[in-house]
């Protein structure tokens, strides 16, 4: 009897929480829940301004480091061809590589972050609200 009552109460709680979460419109759920897309072009990275948060995603160690831009020049440093970016988790140093100039069918310069073998290993995600 006690087990049935406990199961019934647990099921009622789960059903109540499910209805609450499902009723929230996209982007209006729990605080901090939002979908962000990676920045592949110079323009997208240069949109990061002082005080903006951005994530550095390392695909080698599968970690995410969230940083806050100290000044407007930080975004320029993230686009500097030959510049470096460090993963705080695996301590890997990667090189920033610009692909361009724009050619047939493209209108912007692409930015990639590669490891010492030339394989793309990190990317930047602006976290603007």
pLDDT tens-digit map of 37-65: 999 999 999 999 999 999 999 999 999 99
Q: DSSP alpha helices (H): ranges in the chain?
A: 2-23, 42-46, 73-79
* DSSP string over 48-112: --TT-EEEEEETTTTEEEEEE-SSTHHHHHHH-TT-EEE-TTT--EEEEEEE-S--TT--S-EEE
Prior bond to 101 cis, omega within 30?
yes
Q: How far apart are CA 73 and CA 127, in angstroms?
A: 17
Predicted confidence pLDDT, tens digits, the chain (129 residues): 556 656 656 555 565 555 445 555 655 656 667 889 999 999 999 999 999 999 999 999 999 999 999 998 999 999 999 999 999 999 999 999 998 766 666 678 899 999 999 999 999 999 987
Are 55 and 64 in contact by the 8 Å Cβ rule? The answer is yes
- pLDDT for res 11: 57
- What is the reported pTM? 0.70
């Amino acid at each position: 009897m006690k087990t049935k009552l406990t199961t019934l109460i647990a099921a009622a709680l789960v059903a109540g929480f499910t209805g609450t979460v499902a009723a929230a419109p996209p982007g209006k759920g729990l605080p901090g829940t939002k979908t962000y897309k990676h920045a592949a072009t110079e323009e997208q990275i240069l949109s990061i301004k002082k005080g903006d948060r951005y994530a550095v995603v390392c695909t080698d160690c599968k970690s995410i480091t969230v940083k806050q831009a100290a000044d407007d020049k930080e975004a320029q440093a993230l686009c500097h061809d030959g510049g470096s970016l460090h993963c705080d988790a695996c301590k890997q140093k990667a090189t920033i590589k610009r692909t361009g100039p724009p050619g047939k069918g493209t209108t912007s310069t692409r930015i990639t972050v590669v490891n010492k073998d030339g394989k793309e290993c990190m990317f930047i995600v602006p976290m603007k609200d």
